[in-house]
Structure 1
């Protein structure tokens, strides 16, 4: 799934989750939570570069993306043209999400729950795309 698609999903899910989970918080806190969710829904995909590093044996995919970040976001088929990273990315998203929620829970339960909801939507979108349902 493309970054702009994850941003759209993260924006909608983040707005709903902020409204439902942070009812007692101020509007500015809800907006900050929404921005965090939007960024989380897009940048969790940076784990793809770690997978590419393991599979390719070098950081070439990462260095190409960093050298032309606009292209990395607008022409994403060219970021990993020679690698198949399907199941691994779902697994790493689940590991990252589980670790993040576990770390946030003792600090702020609302933030932990919000993170879980946003990442669950991200993973669900990836799974639906993987099986051709989206």
Structure 2
């Protein structure tokens, strides 16, 4: 799924999520909304690590960094030559689980919020893989 699609899904999930975080200040809820939105998009940076593991070089990352417009407009081509479908979903689950566990100690409510944002990101990826979305 493309970054813009994840951003839309992340914005909706984050907006609904912060509505359930009653008792928090408006500024805290706005910060959590921004966090959820950024998490839903930037969790995909792990794809570059998997491409590096598979290909042995950082060429996918370097191309994306040196030409960010291309990286955002031609996302189907960014990981050409690397097959990272399973690995990226696996690492999303690991990142989601570890970040949720770490956040639990600070705030169980924020940890659940984090888990929900990552869940919908992974769900969107799986629906795209299954050609259902």
Q: What SS is found at the alignment partner of 1:49?
A: helix
The offset of 1:28, in angstroms, is 1.6
* Residue of structure 2 in register with 1:42 after alignment: 41
Aligned residues: 133
Structure 2: unaligned runs, 5 residues or longer: none
CA displacement 1:51-105 (0-9 Å, x = unmatched): 0000001111111111111211121012111112111111010001001011111
* Residue of structure 2 in register with 1:10 after alignment: 10
Is residue 120 from structure 1 mapped to residue 119 from structure 2 by the alignment? yes
* Residue of structure 1 in register with 2:31 after alignment: 32
Between the aligned partners of 2:29 and 2:116, the Cα distance in structure 1 is 15
Moved >6 Å (runs of 4+): none
Aligned-residue Cα RMSD (Å) equals 0.8
TM-score by length of 2: 0.97
Between the aligned partners of 2:37 and 2:70, the Cα distance in structure 1 is 20
Between the aligned partners of 1:109 and 1:38, the Cα distance in structure 2 is 19
Between the aligned partners of 1:49 and 1:7, the Cα distance in structure 2 is 19
Q: Greater RCO between the two (CA within 8 Å, min separation 6)?
A: 1
Between the aligned partners of 1:121 and 1:19, the Cα distance in structure 2 is 17
Between the aligned partners of 2:96 and 2:116, the Cα distance in structure 1 is 10
